[in-house]
Amino acid sequence: MSTRVSRIITTAIPAHGHTSPLLAVSADLAARGHEVVFLGGARFAGAAERAGVRFVALPPEADFDDRDLDAGFPARAALTPGPERLAFDARHIFTDPIPHQYRALLALLEDFPAKAVLADAFVQGVLALALSRPRAERPALVGIGVTPPLLPSVDTAPFGLALTPLPGEEGRERNRRLREEAERRVEPLQRYTEKVFDQLGVRLPEGPRGLAPVTVPDHYLQLTVPGFEYPRSDAPETFRLIGALPGAVGIVGEEQPLPDWWARLSEGRPVVVVTQGTLANDDLGALLAPAVTALADRDVLVVAATGRPDGPRELTELLGGRLPDNTLAAGYVPFERLLPLTDVLVSNGGYGGVQNALRHGVPLVVAGASEDKPEVAARVRWAGVGIDLRTGRPEPEAVDRAVGEVLEDGRYRERARALREELERYRPFDAIAELVESL
């Protein structure tokens, strides 16, 4: 296989959970000697520099700050998490930027004629590039799945319902019925999306909305393993599971110093880490405060990773001005160093964060209601690696019961360790590099 230097474009929508894995891939390809340009949100320019790649900003019409989506999209604030907000996000956050992403890619290719474009699957401007010209007249296009795949199948319920697979003909009949209902419900969004592509002179292939992002690119690489993803007997040949990436420490976020309480993690008590990730963490009363309250009387050490600098102060205020004696709070913590010391992760279900916990064999309690988090939580339940609380705002009693069950029932840790072993057998960076170098 040739390892000559190739020009590669990588791109992601300007959200931390999408940008972080694409920049990790970019850094690896650059370290292998390839010339890489990352097309992304303006706030990630410094992260691209730390990854060792050239940065090009998305146009303002395709850029936003995922730390405050309601500021960028004011109408979104009035919508509760669920189908209505998901429809809003699909239309305005993911579909409206498509023409601007497409034109940015064309402009970049004029300056930097790349051999391949590796794109977060939510950068659908790549689809317009694929559909607008024959393969011989464009770079190879590789979709990277950084969330649970939207790929429809006879074997799975439609994405967004958070239903685990039901085997046999009963399951297929359930899925068919739900798929018909879902297609009727999303038809206005489908027409809206088709209109956006039509304005670019491009026609989307027939089929459900989640099909094109997987089938239009030349290759589609999903960042997970079979033990954490539903089987699909009808998946296209281009759809591959390549394993989960290790945490991209020091790329998207500056590596933080260890908190002054770090030595306490070795006291011998079970360590329970609670986090709402980096996106849905504007209201720490959703999960962090109930979890800290729930675990205050347990003989455990609780680490509240708030994901923002003012998080410890806000959490303390929510709890009446004082944290329980067994709780340690921080804005940011180095999860690659924290997870090996963790017995249970209580999370709102970020896809990358959950799989990072499983890379360390850590079982979970998951409570998520926004974005793709219910789908991630359903996979935690299906894989047997933790408990899905099926809400984004759990009662303290529910958190306490779930954490107690995961600590006391060894089956969860056993399954998490089995997933760790499966994840260890995959080499996602090698898989991506080998594909690029074989094109």
Summarised one tens digit per residue, pLDDT across range 311-335 is 899 999 999 999 999 999 998 888 8
CATH number for the domain formed by residue range(s) 7-249+426-438: 3.40.50.2000
The top-scoring range by mean pLDDT among 76-90, 227-241, 296-310 is 227-241
Whether the CB-CB separation of 247 and 335 falls below 8 Å is answered with yes
Domain formed by 262-408, architecture: 3-Layer(aba) Sandwich (3.40)
Q: Rounded mean pLDDT of the chain?
A: 92
Task: Name the token pair of 348.
Answer: 């709102």
The C-alpha torsion from 263 through 264 and 267 to 271, rounded to 10°, is -120
For residues 170-183, give the mean pLDDT: 95
Summarised one tens digit per residue, pLDDT across range 217-228 is 999 999 999 999
The region of weakest confidence among 74-88, 143-157, 164-178, 231-245 is 74-88
Per-residue pLDDT at 285: 84
For residues 325-353, give the mean pLDDT: 93
Residue 189 has pLDDT above 70, yes or no: yes
Summarised one tens digit per residue, pLDDT across range 240-297 is 999 999 865 445 555 668 899 999 999 899 999 999 877 667 788 889 999 999 999 9
For residues 90-104, give the mean pLDDT: 94
- DSSP assignment of 316-371: HHHTTS---TTEEEES---HHHHGGG-SEEEE---HHHHHHHHHTT--EEE---ST
Per-residue pLDDT at 1: 42
Domain ranges of the chain: 7-249+426-438, 262-408
Per-residue pLDDT at 112: 97
CA separation for the pair 4, 63 (Å, rounded): 33
Per-residue pLDDT at 2: 45
Answer whether 7-249+426-438 and 262-408 agree in fold: yes
Q: Which amino acid is at 245?
A: L
Residue 210 confidence class, pLDDT cut points 50, 70, 90: confident
Per-residue pLDDT at 252: 59
Summarised one tens digit per residue, pLDDT across range 385-409 is 999 999 999 999 999 999 999 999 9
Per-residue pLDDT at 253: 56
Whether the CB-CB separation of 8 and 34 falls below 8 Å is answered with yes
Please, which residues bridge with residue 8 across strands? 36, 116
Question: Model-level pTM?
Answer: 0.92
Per-residue pLDDT at 248: 53
CA separation for the pair 40, 66 (Å, rounded): 13
Per-residue pLDDT at 186: 87
Per-residue pLDDT at 249: 44
Q: Which of 348, 367, 381 is nearest to 281 (CA)?
A: 348
Residue 67 confidence class, pLDDT cut points 50, 70, 90: confident
